[in-house]
Amino acid sequence: MSFTGRMLEIDLAERRHEVHEIEPERYERWLGTIGIAYEIADSLSGDFDPLSEDNFIVFSAGILANTPVPGATKVVAVTKNPLNRTYGPSVGGGAFARDMKRAGFDFIVIRGRADKPVWIDVFDGEVEIRDAGFWGKDALESYELLKEKGRSVLTIGQAGENLVRYALALIDGIHHLGKAGLGAVMGSKNLKAIRVGGTGKAEIANEDGFREAVKEFRESVMRDKVTKIYAEMGIMAAWDSWAKHGYLARRMKSEAVDEGTAKEFGVEKYLKEIKLRSTGCHGCPSPCKAILKAEVDGREVVTPASLYLGVAYEFGVKCGVESAEKAVLCHDVANRLGIDAMMFAELFDILATLKEEGKADVDIERSAKSVIELMEKTTKQEGIGELLAKGIDGLKERYEFEDYFIKKMEPLFDPRVASGSEAFGLLTNPRGAQEGPVTITVLPGRRKESIERYMRSIGASEELIAETFRDGFNPALFTLAAENWLWALNGLALCRRESIARSLNVDMLSKLFSNATGIEASGQEIVEAGGRAFTLARKLNCSEGYSFEDDLPPKKFFEPLRTWEGEKVWRDYLTGRVYSYEDVVEMLRQYYRMRGWGEGGCP
């Protein structure tokens, strides 16, 4: 069996730990680890403040972590998120999931609050809770102090220590985890870092069958042209298309980036002047992350980046800093502080736009100097930074503007560009907006036949496919299928990046899972289990008062978006019919009915 069947529970207040066995029946029921993680979260949930000692963190390593499967790297973290009190998951790459499994655990649960700063060291089942004399150091410095061959390290920066509500954690100094405030939850517990490692090996139920499945999957990945493209450019391969179509928007999601800015922060300069080398998750044949370099004001900055597209969009487009080099500097500061740069940049853009429109008297300009100063004030919760540390709610305390966030989280994708799962999933994502499941509808242009084939490949039922295309294209129902697929991948630790996911389908999922675990399950059954886990997350959100009202689309999405191709509005992906607000509300209702939820949007 490729799962360990064990959970480590750590009580920081008591400085003690306990190991629990996870019954095999639970793996058979959930066909992955994400459903079990949510069962654990459900048993620990309650009416408490996310930054109180009553909150918890559940780390879950997927079924295929610590095996030779390419892209089986994902760890899931579940907590009550400080940004918005949702229980939506955080998913990160790197080696943390692998090294949890090598340490002997599928799950690590953190509870209570230490009386002083600590860090946790887990190796081959042994657990030490140690004093964190490096409290106050940034996330990268902390990683450098703790890194050791064969061990993975999760750290927070000063933003987490100071309880910024969108502070995140870093895996091995590069992979982000927890943009809705996981870093703040760790900070509230006086937990600076967690290191995991060990010598444990996965026990494969059917070694011959598994070896053949892995070989077939790996060969498919290596044949795919996207694998080579991602190894060279990462997600920057999408930059020009995203700029042209309008995803790279600024000034409170009202206009697309101009061509000059798109060029300064674009692919050519990235490859020639900014990218030092590729890096990525352990064992990935298509490493999509990078080490960046830039000379700024006479000094060289070398820093890891999970996504340079994010660096360029956050600081180049949204914040409007002067150059790609200065965007790299801003990214390095954000990473070290452990602050979610995408959220911060959106808040910065709102403030800058309000000032430019004469609606805010604030000392801010679109420059790297101003960005860094404001990030530091936010981290320390000083001056205007005290408001920014609260997220969108903080800005609304002082300024009047149209709120286009969803569940207090900024949207990345935009339905005015393409009305697929990426955009509609903004409404139904249990963590908040940011993004829906990234699939083949990320850009316009797919035909009905292509989308139908894709839906079958990810385990959608014929009934769901028929309903999706009953009257044009229903993005809500397509999103449902994509969400179930994504959550199935999360439960198996599988990456959703195109370089990996293009070689996955329900048949391959079944081969990998069944041979690894000895539990016979079809791909459709694994996907359906992912859907049940998604519903359990929704149930937890409903316990916090979330409902249909919180899924409603912002009015901003019904205003024209100015792009290089002219103004765009929210349209049917296939027919081009313009959607009204009422159309989208009705699609939400259909989504609830297909999930088996009540009219109010709760299970």
- Which numeric CATH code is attached to 6-197? 3.60.9.10
pTM of the model: 0.97
Amino acid, res. 488: A
Digit-coded pLDDT (tens) for 501-518 = 999 999 999 999 999 999
Query: Does residue 198 carry a pLDDT above 80?
Result: yes
Query: Does residue 434 carry a pLDDT above 90?
Result: no
Digit-coded pLDDT (tens) for 94-112 = 999 999 999 999 999 999 9
Per-residue pLDDT, 421: 98
Alpha-carbon span 185 to 527, nearest angstrom:
30
Mean pLDDT of 458-487: 98
Mean pLDDT of 438-452: 97
Alpha-carbon span 186 to 163, nearest angstrom:
9
Do 537 and 530 meet the contact criterion of CB atoms below 8 Å apart?
no
Sign of CA dihedral 107, 138, 283, 91: positive
Residue 435 confidence class, pLDDT cut points 50, 70, 90: confident
Residue 209 confidence class, pLDDT cut points 50, 70, 90: very high
Residues with Cβ within 8 Å of residue 40, at least 6 apart in sequence: 7, 58, 78, 107, 109
Query: Does residue 1 carry a pLDDT above 80?
Result: no
- Tell me the DSSP string of 426-471: HHH-TT-SB-----TTSSS---HHHHHHHHHHTT--HHHHHHHTTT
Per-residue pLDDT, 444: 96
Per-residue pLDDT, 397: 97
Alpha-carbon span 161 to 166, nearest angstrom:
12
Mean pLDDT of 339-364: 97
Class (C level, CATH) for 225-397? mainly alpha
Per-residue pLDDT, 405: 98
Helix, strand or coil, per DSSP, at residue 373: helix
Digit-coded pLDDT (tens) for 31-58 = 999 999 999 999 999 999 999 999 999 9
> 6-197 with 225-397: one CATH topology?
no
Query: Does residue 76 carry a pLDDT above 90?
Result: yes
Residue 327 confidence class, pLDDT cut points 50, 70, 90: very high
Average pLDDT, the chain: 97
Digit-coded pLDDT (tens) for 540-599 = 999 999 999 999 999 999 999 999 999 999 999 999 999 999 999 999 999 999 999 999
Query: Does residue 324 carry a pLDDT above 90?
Result: yes
Digit-coded pLDDT (tens) for 56-66 = 999 999 999 99
| Percentage of the chain modeled with pLDDT above 90 | 99
Mean pLDDT of 277-291: 93
Mean pLDDT of 392-398: 97
Amino acid, res. 235: I
Digit-coded pLDDT (tens) for 214-272 = 999 999 999 999 999 999 999 999 999 999 999 999 999 999 999 999 999 999 999 99
Do 306 and 274 meet the contact criterion of CB atoms below 8 Å apart?
no
Alpha-carbon span 364 to 517, nearest angstrom:
55
Beta partners for residue 291, in sequence order: 277, 304
Alpha-carbon span 522 to 528, nearest angstrom:
10
Distances in Å between the Cα of 599 and the Cα atoms of 316, 356, 488, 586 are: 42, 42, 26, 11
Domain extents for the chain? 6-197, 225-397, 421-502+522-595
